[in-house]
Structure 1
Amino acid sequence: MIERLNVRWLGRVSYDEADALARSLHSRSGNYLLLLEHPHTYTLGRRGDDKNVLVEPESVGAVLRSVDRGGDVTYHGPGQLVIYPIIDLPIWRGGLVDSVAYVRQLEQVVVDSLASIGFDAYTDPEYPGVWIGGAKVCAVGVKVEGRRTRHGVAINVDTDLSMFDHIVPCGITDRGVTSLSKVLSDLDGPAGATSGSTESTKSLMEIVAEAFVSSFTQEFDVYEVDDQSVAWREPLVLQSDERRRSIEEQSAEAGVPVRLVSRLQAASVEVPVADPTFRRPEWMRVKADLGAEYRGLKRLVRELDLHTVCESAGCPNIY
Structure 2
Amino acid sequence: RGFVVGSEGTVGIVTKILVRLTRKPEEIQTLLLGFPGVRDGAQTVSDIVAAGILPAAMEMMDQGITRAVEEFVHCGYPVDAGAVLLIEIDGIANTLEGTAKRILKIARDNRACFEKTATDTDEQALLWKGRKNAFGAVARIKPHYYLHDCVIPRTRLADVLDEIAAISEKHEVTIVNVFHAGDGNLHPLILFDRNQSGEQEKVELAGGEIIEACVAAGGTLSGEHGIGLEKMRYMPLVFTSDTLHTMQRIKCVFNPEQRLNPGKVLPVRGGCAEFRQKTS
Q: With structure 1 as the length reference, what TM-score do the two structures score?
A: 0.27
Higher helix share: 2
Structure with the higher strand share, 1 or 2: 1
TM-score by length of 2: 0.30
